[in-house]
Amino acid sequence: MKKTNAARILDSNKIDFELVPYPVDENDLSAVTLAQKLGQNIEQVFKTLVLRGNATGIFIAVIPGQAEVNLKKAALISGNKKTEMIALKELLPLTGYIRGGCSPLGMKKPYPIFIHESCRQHDFIYVSAGKRGLQLKLHPNDLITATQAEVCNLI
């Protein structure tokens, strides 16, 4: 299995992780379906969302797969008055990743990252490894360290 940039970043930081492959359905890239394919609790499968704040610009929200980001909370936490999800066509140019394969690690630029506080309730969580069909399984504190994420309530 070929390592992704996200996996190489974890390796370079000497962080333990597991690469977990799964079958991809191009018609259903939802985190709920992914959790079912992994046989895992949806609360441990985190999705990476890219948002734009009116004052600070692009930032990243990492939240449990079944949840929706609270835009008002995300704005407040990130130092904005208003925030919105980016348009899908902006995802690849901004991050280097495509929908269904966006990792909080290894983006084109270092953006501020905010991860939902529920991650700390688990011994491990899953996030995208940077391509469809591959997830990273790791301890949440390791992800927080590797991404320099701020832990907060985003939902």
* CATH number, residue 122: 3.90.960.10
Amino acid at 107: M
- Beta-carbon-side half-sphere exposure of residue 98 (alpha carbons within 13 Å): 6
Residue 4: the pLDDT is 96
Measured on CA atoms in the order 65, 67, 69, 74, is the torsion positive or negative?
negative
Please state, in angstroms and rounded to a whole number, the distance separating the CA atoms of residues 153 and 150: 10
Residue 64: the pLDDT is 98
Alpha helices in 28-86 (DSSP H): 31-38, 71-78
Residue 104: the pLDDT is 98
Question: What are the mean pLDDT values of the chain's consecutive 10-residue runs (155 residues total)?
Answer: 92 97 94 96 98 98 98 98 98 97 97 98 98 97 98 97
Q: Specify whether the CB–CB gap between 112 and 150 falls below 8 A.
A: yes
Please state, in angstroms and rounded to a whole number, the distance separating the CA atoms of residues 129 and 82: 29
Q: What are 136's two structure tokens?
A: 């990273």
Q: 122: Cβ–Cβ under 8 A, 6 or more apart, which residues?
A: 43, 44, 140
Total domains in the chain come to 1
What 8-state DSSP symbol labels residue 85?
E
pTM above 0.85, yes or no: yes
Residue 112: the pLDDT is 98
Residue 119: the pLDDT is 98
Domain span at residue 63 reads 5-152
